[in-house]
Structure 1
Amino acid sequence: MAYQALYRVWRPQRFDDMIGQEVITRTLKNAITTNQISHAYLFAGPRGTGKTSAAKIFAKAINCHHQKDGEPCNECDTCKAITAGTLNDVIEIDAASNNGVEEIRDIRDKVKYAPTVADYKVYIIDEVHMLSAGAFNALLKTLEEPPANVIFILATTEPHKIPATIISRVQRFDFKRIAASDSYDRMTYILKQKNVTYDDQAIKVIAKAAEGGMRDALSILDQALSFGDNEITLDNALLVTGSVTHELLATYVQQVLAGETKAGLATLQSVLEAGKDAERFTEDFISYARDLLLYQQAPQLVEEAEMGSVSEDFQALAKQTPAATMYAMINELNAIQQQMRFTTHPDVYLEILTIKLAEIGQAKGAAPVAATTAPVATATPTPAAESQVQALQHQVDQLKTTLERLEQAGGVKAAQPAARPKPRVTANQQEKEVNLAKIYPVLGSATRGKLNQLQEVWPDLLNSLSVTQRAVMKVSQPVAAADSGVIVAFDYSFLYQRATTDQELTDALENGLDRMIGSALPVVFVPKDQWPTIRKDYLATHKADLQQHAASHQATPAPDGQPTDAEAPAPDQPAANPVVTKAEDLFGKDIVDVQHD
């Protein structure tokens, strides 16, 4: 006979053989023993957790005349026929390939015929969520009132896709993921039965890589057996699963926590050269960071998950690593993991991740325990820290200059009525509220023509966004535009806050502008209720710059020092105010209303 995969050979044939589903198996056995059998069941849960196996065992148990305590005997002709799949009264249907109305109508027509050999006719519909809406409707009446001696068992991995009208007509059983310790026990039992030598750590690696699926665990075990010539070693298990050893992962984490960028990059390079999968590496890193956090609060949970193999290095690292540092690292890991799904160069993202994590380690001051015993010395600033300090100092200087100009403008207008409220701009909230450092450069070169161009393509730009992004941008409109950027005002502050923190939205807008007008203009957001005040303050604080700009663009003098006739002002027309000219250039003459004092 040809070779069969382990998950087929060792498929459960009794309820007691099933792993990790004790509540479900006990309920089904009691129902069989007490003869309280329902006409329809729904088995829902992740892949490889025993849904189809439980359905077949249930079909054998209710048709076995020698069943004991709800368990089939597996010796009678009926049990053997169901196990071999040759009994006509137990019909297994794959809904993924038979999802039409005609297939369900065929079931509805045949279900009225009595079983030929068995006591019950059992229909096992696998992946039932793949049925079409019409097929579900065709199944409804039969499922609610099936003929006598007919039982439906529906199995699915996505119960949320099944109509509520179907779920209300069945008994639902939710299969849970199988614990790594249960998978480990099952695999060691199988290997002992096959007389195969194995490494305990290797089986633990396979159990954790299966992520709660017993079938996945046996498939990986089968692959490791083939790779190692009927011997399971730790190296073989790591190669098959693409996982990284705890020692290597611990070394990498210690290096980035200590801010050792070069050492971390070298360790990462050795991981990639060994053929490890980049996505698997990030998964292992996230699990490792989570375990560090959990060990600080509930060590017993980590010890159970790791099946008692918690090293001393891990314990020491958990004690000396601040929780805030791990939060920041997990956020970076999650962001990189999302970006890696759409790239063909994951190694580049891992290198960037290493540098970022090392910077987090430096910023949080997470140093090894030995460093705490050293004498306190003056810290030498790193190049990254110096650049951050210079950038912050530059922002402070800009804020001081803006504040002085605002105070001067306020002093001139002290006798006027109370001015409108200023935009809520502070040093700590500049990025969250109104970023004047990005708005003012756009205002300095904004033109009405550029704004008209943006307003024309704005509806098409919004239509190119996703549904969620379009909902955020629906109550926004461009209010100023230049070759250096575009300013977008929001009617509601909470949508403005959401847009400022959504980098994907900003990228989508800039990419859309690049396609429609040929240039990816930087997009700056602003609340609509603060926009008039920002516009007025800009014109007031930059009055001197506007006058100088206007002076540089005056008419070129003739040889005798007088302006040319074409450019000389009319005798009865006063010289143009540069502030008014700039306002008209920004917002249009039809909007600007000039009132003389």
Structure 2
Amino acid sequence: MGYQALYRVWRPQAFEDVIGQEHVTKTLQNALMQQKISHAYLFSGPRGTGKTSAAKILAKAVNCEHAPVSEPCNECAACRGITDGSISDCLEIDAASNNGVEEIRDIRDKVKYAPSSVKYKVYIIDEVHMLSTGAFNALLKTLEEPPAHVIFILATTEPHKIPLTIISRCQRFDFKRITPQDIVGRMERILRESGVEYEVQALSVIARAAEGGMRDALSLLDQAISFGSDRVTMEDALTVTGAVSQSFLTKIVKAIHEKNTAEALGQMKELLAMGKDPVRFVEDMILFYRDMLLFQAAPELEDSMERVYIDDDFKVLAEEIESERLYSWIDQWNQSIQDMKWSSHPRISLEVLLVKLCQSDVPTRTVASVDDATVKKLVERINHLEAEINSLRSQAPGEQGMAAPKDKPKKAAASNRSFKVPVGRVNEVLKSATKPALLKIKGSWAEMLGSLKRSQAALLNDAEPVAASEQAFVLKFKYEIHCQMAMNNQEFISGLKSTFVQITGNNYDIVGVPEDAWKKIREEYVTSQKADNEDDKSGQEPAEEDPLIVKARELFGDELVEIKE
């Protein structure tokens, strides 16, 4: 073949070429020098991070003619034969296409034979998580106790799909994503040795688009070289990766900050006309805001920037835009990604977001710009309210001067005892009670409950007004504990009174009484009224109807009054 892809030409041939995996290569090199080679290894990690390359380097190192060595010489017959694949003792198997039980049984039958040309037989099983359950079971015993001349190296991108019985029989090494700085360094070395001119900013764009994979980065670099006629420029990198140039991002951010909706929509329209992906554009915007926040917090950490380059326009924007506004924007852009994934018209979602950002106003430091006149008015209002509160406290019934604080412990102590029924107050209400007044209270009862808080309305679920005058009404509770909780809560009583004032226009005095006590008080009141009427009627002609009966009808209604001779 006349041409090979960069990632094949520059595939690592020694541990020092495996970029960003020092924690793995150092351990393997020490094991090689100390001749502590395990019978089985598991290499796991993201794609393009060097798993299979490290496996082949390990196979060359254990079979190198100069062993023990920390690096294969790549010059002896064994190293060259493993590199070009001519030695059959080093076998690389793709588990994605050889995932059946028969293939694994074939390996199990052949491992007992000694290697023909090198010291160790090395089986590299790539994408091992693709093996079937039967294939894993067939591999178990051989993987645990292989012959002394056999080494298994399993590679996978999804270790969670591998049975724990397999993982426990291997030494596991987790490969991590390669940092953009390491990827850029590797690409610079390749381009220098290849004699290709480049822009450092273009390599940074490619490294970020690779998402931690060296193979992806070299594939994009290969494409950028072809696109730019043996020169890698910023525009070429943006084109092959689909990213958005910083100049466009700066213009859009500036338009949003200045609330220039037409400019923001115009720049976005131009980007989409260039074929940019809306979701990729949103990701670039989020990274732009992230780098701006990082620059505001720690300007010296320029190497930590993922998307931007510190130029004059960026510095000006970072000084003008408050961090609170950036936090709000990042949240909204993040939410837009979720909306666009489920939208059949992502462009419309993006346009709506830009209009919303240009028209919204996030409250930030402008709160501090209150004039002195406004502050003075607020202080006067606060002083006036405090004077009114103190006046109301001093006018509270049954309290004088400083006696109020002393009563609080008594109330707290009394709340632990049984409720004391206000018999006198109930009798006062009954003396002036009328049926129309009671019907007025009952007619507004449902509206009153609806205007209270849920916790307050819960206390009145089993309560009902049973007698009322124009100034007060008796509130009967089914349970004494509810009556005690309600009537001892001054805030609750005040809220109830104010609600009735709004609904009926009357400021009622509320007298609470448990159901059992109410029955007793009512019977006693009816008896006393009957006795008084009999005393008044002595020596007089009988009236058309007993006043006691008339009073009872007014209080309790015709449906509740039963007259017996």
Match of 1:20 in 2: 20
TM-score (norm 1): 0.60
Paired amino acid for 2:336: I
Aligned partner letter, 1:289: Y
Listed one character per residue, the Cα deviations across residues 471-529 of structure 1 (whole Å, up to 9, x for unaligned) are xxxxxxxxxxxxxxxxxxxxxxxxxxxxxxxxxxxxxxxxxxxxxxxxxxxxxxxxxxx
**Superposition deviation, residue 410 in structure 1:** 10
Distance of 1:223 and 1:265 partners within structure 2: 31
| Cα distance in 2 for residues equivalent to 1:18 and 1:87 | 23
Query: Contact 2:287–2:307 at 8 Å: present in 1 too?
Result: no
- Partner residue of 2:293? 293
Cα 1:410–1:173, aligned 2, differ >3 Å: closer, same or farther? Answer: farther
Opposite residue 144 of structure 1, the aligned amino acid is: E
| 1:392-403 equivalence runs, <5 A | none
Evaluate the alpha carbon distance shift between residue 68 and residue 356 of structure 1 in structure 2; reply closer, same or farther with a 3 A threshold: farther
CA distance in 2, matches of 1:316, 1:195: 38
Q: Aligned equivalents of 1:316 and 1:48: distance in 2? A: 39
Which residue in the other structure is 1:112 paired with? Answer: 112
Distance 1:14 1:41 in 2: 18
Describe how 1:244-323 pairs up with structure 2 within 5 A.
244-306=244-306, 309-323=309-323
User: Structure 2: how far apart are the matches of 1:311 and 1:366?
Assistant: 26
User: Could you give the per-residue CA deviations for residues 309-339 of structure 1, whole angstroms, max 9, x where no partner exists?
Assistant: 4224334433443333333322322232223
State how far apart, in whole Å, the 1-side matches of 2:74 and 2:168 are.
33
196-205 or 324-333, which moves further after superposition?
Answer: 324-333
Tell me the residue number matched to 1:412. Answer: 442
Q: Which amino acid aligns with 1:256?
A: I
Deviation readout 1:419-467 (Å, 9 max, x if unpaired):
79966499xxxxxxxxxxxxxxxxxxxxxxxxxxxxxxxxxxxxxxxxx
> Does the C-alpha gap of structure 1 residues 359 and 425 become closer, same or farther in structure 2, counting only changes over 3 Å?
farther
Q: Structure 2 CA distance, aligned partners of 1:140 and 1:206?
A: 42
Contact 1:33 1:70 (8 Å CA) reproduced: yes
1:195-220 CA-to-partner distances (Å, cap 9, x unmatched) read 11112221121112111111111100
- Contact 1:40 1:151 (8 Å CA) reproduced: yes
Equivalences for residues 470-485 of structure 1 within 5 A: none
1:24 shift after superposition? 1.1
Aligned to 1:243: 243
Q: Which residue of 2 aligns with 1:169?
A: 169
Secondary structure, aligned partner of 1:41: strand
Find the aligned partners of 1:119 and 1:71 in 2 and give their Cα distance.
Answer: 16
Contact 1:99 1:132 in 2 (8 A): yes
**How far apart are 1:143 and its partner, in Å?**
1.4
Q: 1:301 to 1:307 in 2, by over 3 A?
A: farther
Alignment correspondent of 1:63: 63
Which residue of the partner structure matches residue 81 of structure 1?
A: 81
Q: How does 1:375-386 map to 2 (within 5 A)?
A: none
Higher alpha-carbon deviation: 99-108 or 193-202: 99-108
Query: Does the aligned pair in 1 maintain the 2:340–2:349 contact within 8 Å?
Result: yes
Distance in structure 2 (CA, Å) of the matches to 1:278 and 1:121: 51
Please say which structure displays the higher CA radius of gyration: 2
Q: Give ranges in structure 2 of 5+ residues lacking alignment.
A: 372-437, 457-502, 504-558, 561-565
Shift in alpha-carbon separation, 1:409–1:211, aligned structure 2, 3 A: farther
**Residue 224 of structure 1, CA deviation:** 0.6
Comparing 63-72 and 268-277, the one that deviates more: 63-72
Aligned to 2:538: none
Alpha-carbon offset, residue 366 of structure 1? 9.0
Q: Is the 8 A contact 1:92 1:126 kept in 2?
A: yes
Paired residues of 1:258 and 1:366 also in contact (CA < 8 A): no
Cα distance, 1:37 vs structure 2: 0.6
Q: Identify the residue that residue 4 of structure 2 maps to in structure 1.
A: 4
Instruction: Note the residue ranges of structure 1 that are not aligned, 5 or more in a row.
Output: 376-407, 427-540, 542-595
Does the alignment pair 1:45 with 2:75? no
CA distance 1:366–1:116, change in 2 (3 Å): farther
Distance 1:282 1:4 in 2: 35
Change in CA separation of 1:75 and 1:186 when aligned onto 2, cut-off 3 Å: same
Q: Which residue of 1 aligns with 2:230?
A: 230
Equivalent position of 1:363 in the other structure:
362
- How many Å separate the matches in 2 of 1:348 and 1:248? 19
Provide the residue aligned with 2:155 in structure 1.
155
Deviations 1:64-121 (A, max 9, x none): 0125741001011111111112211111111111222222222222222221111111
| Structure 2 match to 1:93 | 93
Give the Cα–Cα distance (whole angstroms) in 1 for the partners of residues 78 and 345 of structure 2: 56
Aligned residues between the structures: 391
Deviation at 1:230, TM superposition (A): 1.1
Q: In 2 relative to 1, CA 42–297 (structure 1 residues): closer, same or farther, beyond 3 Å?
A: farther
Against the structure 1 CA distance between its residues 299 and 136, is the aligned structure 2 distance closer, same or farther, given a 3 Å change threshold? farther
Secondary structure at the aligned position of 1:62 is classed as helix
- The equivalent residue for 1:333 is 333
Identity over aligned residues, as a percent? 55
Does the Cα contact within 8 Å between 2:44 and 2:158 map onto a contact in 1? yes
Partners of 1:111 and 1:234 lie apart in 2 by: 52
Corresponding letter in the other structure for 2:193: Q
1:363 counterpart SS class? coil
Q: In the alignment, residue 192 of structure 1 is paired with which amino acid?
A: R
CA deviation map 1:328-373 (0-9, x unaligned): 322322232223334554322221221233244x234699xxxx99
Q: Which amino acid letter does the alignment assign opposite residue 114 of structure 1? A: A
Question: Which letter does structure 1 place at the counterpart of 2:220?
Answer: I
Tell me which residue corresponds to 2:397.
none
Partner residue in 1 for 2:212? 212
Does residue 192 of structure 1 match 2:192?
A: yes
CA distance in 2 between counterparts of 1:71 and 1:33 reads 10
Q: CA contact under 8 A between 2:279 and 2:340: conserved in structure 1?
A: yes
* Aligned CA distance change for structure 1 residues 364 and 133 (closer, same or farther; 3 Å): farther
